[in-house]
Structure 1
Amino acid sequence: MRLPRSTHTDLPWRIHEIAGDFKVEDVWELPTPGGPDDLARLVDQFANGAGDPVDSRVGRALFALRWKLGALFGWDGPADGLGGRVPTLRDRLPADLREGPRGPDLGAVPFTSVYQTHDEWAAETANRTVHGVMRIGWVPDGAGGYHGRMAVLVKPNGLFGALYMAGIKPFRYLGVYPALLRGIGREWRARTGPGAG
């Protein structure tokens, strides 16, 4: 379920110290019911999940089209990524986060982990269009349990990046996020087993 931006901005997440110049693009509640210490399980699922994270033909087609356009127009070259066009957010980390667990990188999609705490994990990506952050928080559900909450933060690369983000918005909402959330929930249930969480 999509949530108001304030469900991210009003909480004291560490990402606010690091990516204050990024725009909160989206906030989503993840279908991942669990206990207070389960963020590490969710992060492991993101990094080592068995299934396709976007389990629809439409979603897969949109990603395939994006990668083809990126190759055609040169959006995803090494010079346009982290350490090229933009420095990594790890350069901004305070000492306690820099010295703490970093978390895993994601192989299926180009996200590099920035930091991981007991209740928060952030990973970043960059190309010629945007510098983006996927931030997963582990939050109480109000009924004694917990679940994941994903915030997507972006810093578009100039006018081109802003137009790109506006252009892909309907595709994200109609083809990508619904399938992504279904896939996350299905794998969480499969990994958790009946009656757990």
Structure 2
Amino acid sequence: MRIPTDTHTTQPWRIHEFTRDFQVEDVWSFRTPGAGPDDFPLMLAALRAHAGPANASLVVRFLLAARWKLGALFGWDKPDNGFEGRARSLRESLPPDIPASQDNYVVPGTPMTELYVLDNESAMELANQTVHAIMHLGWVPGENGDYELRMAILVKPNGIFGQLYMAAIKPFRYLIVYPAMTRQWEQAWHDRDHLAGGQES
């Protein structure tokens, strides 16, 4: 479910400290019935095991494949358009008390890499010719008392081209990608049992 931008900006997330030049593009919440305050690592493990582009719907996989094909055709994703050239990774801006992720986890089927993982938030980033983007995940109390996952997408478009690109893909994000992601991520939480030694939902 899409939620207001200030549900992200008013939280005391550490990500705010080094993304002041990014804009908040989207904020979504995901239901995780029965989740408690210490279950964020379990949620992340469930996402790694059960979510991601490889397990997405056929339509979403087609859209992602088309995007990466266009990127290859026009050179959007070449290394010198990313962190090896145009953009500077936020790894270089992390405060000393936020350790950078050490396993260099990459979301399968994407160039998005993990920046850091804390007790109640994590962040991943990618950069190409169109945009420098951050996916931030946060763990917060929901209205019914259970904790829930929230995702914020922060972006720094690369000039007019990047702004036009973000505008062009917005309908696909809102009508196809995010609804499918919501179903997948919420199902990942329901399918988490074996990751916690068979705990009940």
TM-score, normalising length: structure 2: 0.89
Q: Give the SS at the match of 2:137.
A: strand
CA distance in 2, matches of 1:99, 1:112: 11
| In structure 1, distance between residues paired with 2:78 and 2:53 | 24
Q: How does 1:42-191 map to 2 (within 5 A)?
A: 42-49=43-50, 52=53, 55-98=56-99, 104-191=105-192
Identity of aligned residues (%): 50
Distance in structure 1 (CA, Å) of the matches to 2:27 and 2:107:
20
Quote the residue 1:11 is aligned against: 11
Query: In the aligned structure 2, how far is the partner of 1:70 from the partner of 1:104?
Result: 22
Deviation sequence 1:89-127 (CA, Å, 0-9, x none) = 011111000378778432332211111110000010111
Contact 1:101/1:117 (CA < 8 Å) preserved in 2? no
After superposition, the Cα gap between the structure-2 partners of 1:119 and 1:170, relative to the gap in structure 1 and judged at 3 Å, is same
Q: Is the 8 A contact 2:51 2:185 kept in 1?
A: no
- The two structures, once aligned, show a CA RMSD in angstroms of 2.2
Q: Conserved in 2, the CA contact under 8 Å of 1:53 and 1:183? A: no
For residues 47 and 130 of structure 2, the distance between their equivalents in structure 1, rounded to whole angstroms, comes to: 23
Q: Distance in 2 between matches of 1:196 and 1:187?
A: 14
For 1:169 and 1:51, how far apart are their aligned partners in 2?
20
8 Å Cα contact 1:43-1:121 kept in structure 2: no
Residue identity in the other structure for 1:16: H
**Conserved 8 A contact 1:62-1:175:** no
SS in 1 for 2:21: coil
Whole-angstrom distance in 1 between the partners of 2:37 and 2:4: 23
Q: In terms of mean alpha carbon deviation, does 163-172 or 74-83 score higher?
A: 74-83
1:50 CA displacement = 6.1
CA contact (8 A) 1:125 1:133 kept: yes
1:39 is matched with 40
Task: Note the C-alpha offset of 1:42.
Answer: 1.9
**TM-score (normalised: structure 1):** 0.90
1:127-178: per-residue Cα shift (whole Å, max 9, x none)? 1100000000000013332011000011000100000000000011111111
Q: Out of 93-102 and 19-28, give the one that drifted further.
A: 93-102
Q: What are the equivalent positions in structure 2 for 1:21-40 lying under 5 Å apart?
A: 21-33=21-33, 34-40=35-41
Q: Is 2:20 aligned against 1:20?
A: yes
Contact 1:78 1:84 in 2 (8 A): yes
Distance 1:55 1:99 in 2: 28
- Distance in 2, Cα, partners of 1:132 & 1:103: 17
Distance 1:115 1:99 in 2: 5
